[in-house]
Amino acid sequence: MQKFIQSSLDYIEQNLKTEITVTELAQAAGYSAGHYCRLFGREIGLSVAAYILKRRLDHALIKISEGRKAIDVVLEYGFDTYAGFYKAFVKMYGCSPKKYLGIYKNKKSEVLFMHGINEIKTILGNWDISKDLKIEDVTHTDWETQEKSEWQTWQIGDGYYIKTSERSKMIRSIKIAKALKKQGLDSEFLPIPTKSGADYLDGENIFLLTKKIGELPNNRPLSDDEIGRLENNGLREKYASNLGQAVAKIHKALKLIQHDIKPYEGNLYEPCKDMIPKIKEANLGISEEFFADYTETFGKLYPKLPKQLIHGNLCGDCAVYDETGEVICVKSFEFENVSHARIFDITWCAGEINAQPDIDLYLKTLKEIIKGYNSINPLTDEEKQAFYYVICATYINGFGYFDESMDLHSRGNKALIFLAENREMFLNLI
Q: What is the pLDDT of residue 371?
A: 94
Q: Is residue 317 part of a domain?
A: yes
Q: Do 20 and 156 share a structural domain? A: no
Kind and range of the H or E run holding 14: helix 3-14
Tell me what the mean pLDDT of segment 222-242 comes to.
63
Q: Which of the 8 DSSP states describes residue 235? A: -
pLDDT at 356 over 90: no
Q: Is residue 154 part of a domain?
A: yes
Q: What is the pLDDT of residue 79?
A: 95
Q: Which residues pair with 153 in a beta bridge?
A: 163
pLDDT digits (tens, 9 = 90+) for 380-401: 999 999 999 999 998 898 887 6
Distance CA 210, CA 206 (A): 13
pLDDT at 373 over 80: yes
Q: Do 232 and 285 share a structural domain? A: yes
Query: Which comes out higher in pLDDT, residue 212 or 89?
Result: 89
Q: Do 121 and 100 share a structural domain? A: no
Domain that holds residue 155: 117-211
Q: Do 349 and 259 share a structural domain? A: yes
pLDDT digits (tens, 9 = 90+) for 87-109: 999 999 989 999 888 877 655 44
- Say how far residue 233 (Cα) sits from the centre of its chain: 33
Cβ 199 vs Cβ 174: under 8 Å: yes
Count of structural domains, the chain? 3
Q: Is residue 27 part of a domain?
A: yes
**Helix axis angle, 167-182 relative to 236-261, nearest 10°?**
130
Q: Do 272 and 156 share a structural domain? A: no
pLDDT at 137 over 80: yes
Q: Is residue 216 part of a domain?
A: no
Phi, psi of 206 (to 5 degrees): -85, 135
Cβ 192 vs Cβ 160: under 8 Å: yes
Q: How many CA atoms lie within 13 A of 332 on its CB side?
A: 11
pLDDT at 112 over 50: no
What percent of the chain shows pLDDT beyond 90?
A: 47
Domain boundary among 160, 190, 211: 211
Kind and range of the H or E run holding 163: strand 160-164
pLDDT at 249 over 50: yes
310: CATH: 3.90.1200.10
Q: Do 97 and 9 share a structural domain? A: yes
Q: Do 286 and 145 share a structural domain? A: no
Other Cβ atoms less than 10 A from the Cβ of 149: the count is 11
Q: Do 43 and 74 share a structural domain? A: yes
127: CATH: 3.30.200.20
Domain boundary among 104, 131, 163: 104
- Which of 73-82, 158-167, 359-368 tops mean pLDDT? 73-82
Out of 19-23, 268-272, 324-328, least confident range = 324-328
pLDDT digits (tens, 9 = 90+) for 22-80: 999 999 998 888 778 878 887 887 889 989 999 999 999 999 988 999 999 999 999 99
Q: Do 272 and 135 share a structural domain? A: no
- State the chain's mean pLDDT as an integer: 84
Q: Is residue 218 part of a domain?
A: no
pLDDT at 379 over 80: yes
30: CATH: 1.10.10.60
Tell me what the mean pLDDT of segment 129-143 comes to.
80
Q: What is the pLDDT of residue 109?
A: 46
What percent of the chain shows pLDDT beyond 70?
A: 84
- Which of 144-153, 155-164, 260-269, 334-343 tops mean pLDDT? 155-164
Distance CA 226, CA 217 (A): 19
Q: Is residue 109 part of a domain?
A: no
pLDDT digits (tens, 9 = 90+) for 276-331: 999 999 899 999 999 999 999 999 999 999 999 998 877 766 777 776 778 888 87
Q: What is the pLDDT of residue 34?
A: 77
Q: Is residue 219 part of a domain?
A: no
Q: Do 316 and 251 share a structural domain? A: yes
pLDDT at 203 over 60: yes
Q: Is residue 43 part of a domain?
A: yes
Q: Do 268 and 130 share a structural domain? A: no
Q: Do 75 and 124 share a structural domain? A: no
Domain boundary among 49, 77, 104: 104
